[in-house]
Chains A and B, each alone.
Chain A
């Protein structure tokens, strides 16, 4: 097993009710696995998570990206800076 830290922003943070979530995942887990577990534990994210991009250690990732123990996952809703 590995532990990862998910940080959330804007509407995603409000829906989850927290700006940071620790999750335990299998050693071979990918971003897709993390999304599945996130939805299971935080069903309120269901409306927004499909529109979010996840970043692993500050780098945009896709569903197949492998995670590693201690990594930081940014849950990034569609951005609106500027």
Chain B
């Protein structure tokens, strides 16, 4: 199951969605807004996505993960809009009969999501500065 939402992520619902009695491992990863990046204090992150394409790319990731590892439940939720410090912007839930598959799949899913899914974050600092995060582009706003 994949979902892009403007609402706060219900992490217990993500875990419940992947729960499976045939699995010995149930994993939940939450990516949250961190307060400090170096000496910049973040107030919130503001996410936007390419609606339509982002869902398709997430779906492709889930299909590939299922081919590579022995998984049962799989759920990826990404929140867009403003995400304050401490709250989750992304959740990855995975269940697998054995934990090695679940750990490997969850790590690959979040790493690959960050590389290919058309979603962007804008950092809003306590000082009021805003800047889009475009890794490795060398572009400074």
Asked if A11 contacts B141 (CB within 8 A), the reply is yes
* Residue pair B139, A48 in contact (C-beta under 8 Å): yes
Given contacts A10-B48, A55-B53, A76-B50, contact A82 B114 (CB under 8 A): yes
- Indicate whether A81 sits within 8 Å of B49 (C-beta atoms), given known contacts A9-B120, A11-B132: yes
- Across the interface, B134 reaches (CB within 8 A) one of A7, A55, A58, A80, namely A80
Q: Could you tell me the distance in whole angstroms from the C-beta of A62 to the nearest C-beta in chain B?
A: 15
Determine if B137 and A48 form an interchain contact, defined as CB atoms under 8 angstroms apart: yes
Given contacts A10-B48, A10-B122, A55-B118, contact A78 B53 (CB under 8 A): no
Which residues from chain B contact A47 at a C-beta distance below 8 Å?
139
Number of A-B contacts (CB under 8 A): 85
B23 touches A (CB below 8 Å): no
Total chain A interface residues with beta-carbon distance under 8 A: 19
Residue pair B137, A82 in contact (C-beta under 8 Å):
no
Instruction: Give chain B interface residues in 104-138, CB to chain A under 8 Å.
Output: 110, 113-122, 132-138
Chain B residues proximal to chain A, CB less than 8 Å = 31, 47-50, 52-54, 56, 78, 89-90, 110, 113-122, 132-139, 141
Not counting A51-B134, A74-B50, A81-B47, a sample of 18 additional A-B residue pairs whose C-beta atoms are within 8 angstroms of each other reads A7-B50, A9-B120, A10-B132, A11-B120, A11-B139, A14-B141, A48-B137, A58-B56, A77-B132, A78-B135, A79-B120, A80-B119, A80-B134, A81-B89, A81-B118, A82-B31, A82-B89, A82-B110
Which A residues have a C-beta under 8 Å from some C-beta of B? 7, 9-11, 14, 47-48, 51, 55, 58, 60, 74, 76-82
